Amino acid sequence: MVTVFGAYGHTGRFVVTELRERGFVPILAGRDADKLKALAYETGLEARPASVDDPGSLDRALAGAAAVINTAGPFATTGGPVIEAALRAGIPYLDVAAEIEANADTFAHFGERARAAGAVIVPAMAFYGGLGDLLATAAMGEWTSADEAHVAYALSSWHPTAGTRASGVISRERRDGRRVRFANGRLEYRDDPSPTLEWSFPEPVGPRDVIGEFTMADVVTVPSHLSIPEVRTYMTVEAAKDVVSADAPAPAPADESGRSAQTFLVDVVVRSGSDERRAVATGQDIYAITAPLVVEAVERVLSGRTKAVGVVSAGEIFDAPDFLRALSAHLTVDLRK
Ligand SMILES: NC(=O)c1ccc[n+]([C@@H]2O[C@H](COP(=O)([O-])OP(=O)(O)OC[C@H]3O[C@@H](n4cnc5c(N)ncnc54)[C@H](OP(=O)(O)O)[C@@H]3O)[C@@H](O)[C@H]2O)c1
* Cα 6 to ligand 1 centre (Å): 6
Q: Are residues 188 and 56 in the same domain?
A: no
Confidence of residue 172 (pLDDT cuts 50, 70, 90): confident
Give the CATH number, domain containing residue 250. 3.30.360
Cα of 147 from ligand 1 centre, angstroms: 35
- Higher-confidence position of 139 and 248: 139
Q: What's the predicted TM-score (pTM) here?
A: 0.98
pLDDT at 337: 57
The predicted pLDDT at position 182 comes to 97
Ligand 1 atom closest to Cα of residue 216? 1
Q: Answer yes or no: do 173 and 104 share one domain.
A: no
Across the range 311-326, mean pLDDT stands at 98
> Ligand 1 atom closest to Cα of 164?
47
Task: Tell whether ligand 1 has an atom less than 6 A from the beta carbon of residue 6.
Answer: yes
Same structural domain, 141 and 120:
no
- Domain shared by 99 and 174, yes or no: no
Q: Say if ligand 1 is within 6 A of residue 11 CB.
A: yes
Domain match, 95 and 168 both: no
> Does 13 sit in the ligand 1 pocket, CB within 6 Å?
no
Residue 59: CATH number of its domain = 3.40.50.720
The residue whose CA has the least distance to atom 21 of ligand 1 is 9
Write the residue with the smallest CA distance to atom 46 of ligand 1: 164
Task: Tell me what pLDDT residue 177 has.
Answer: 85
Instruction: Report pLDDT digits (tens) over 278-315.
Output: 999 999 999 999 999 999 999 999 999 999 999 999 99
pLDDT digits (tens, 9 = 90+) for 144-170: 999 999 999 999 999 999 999 998 888
Give the tens place of pLDDT for each residue, 41-92.
999 999 999 999 999 999 999 999 999 999 999 999 999 999 999 999 999 9
Selection from 175, 129, 180, 122 nearest residue 153 by Cα: 129
pLDDT at 246 over 90: no
Q: What is the pLDDT of residue 247?
A: 87
Ligand 1 pocket, 262 CB below 6 A?
A: no
pLDDT of residue 97: 98
Identify the domain containing residue 233 by its residue range: 127-288+324-336
Residues 191 and 301 in one domain: no
In the chain, the number of structural domains is 2
| 224 in the same domain as 248 | yes
State whether 260 and 272 are in the same domain: yes
- Identify whether residues 91 and 213 lie together within a single domain: no
Domain match, 118 and 248 both: no
Pair (41, 72) in one structural domain: yes
Same structural domain, 133 and 270: yes
24, pLDDT greater than 90: yes
CA of 315 to the centre of ligand 1 (A): 23
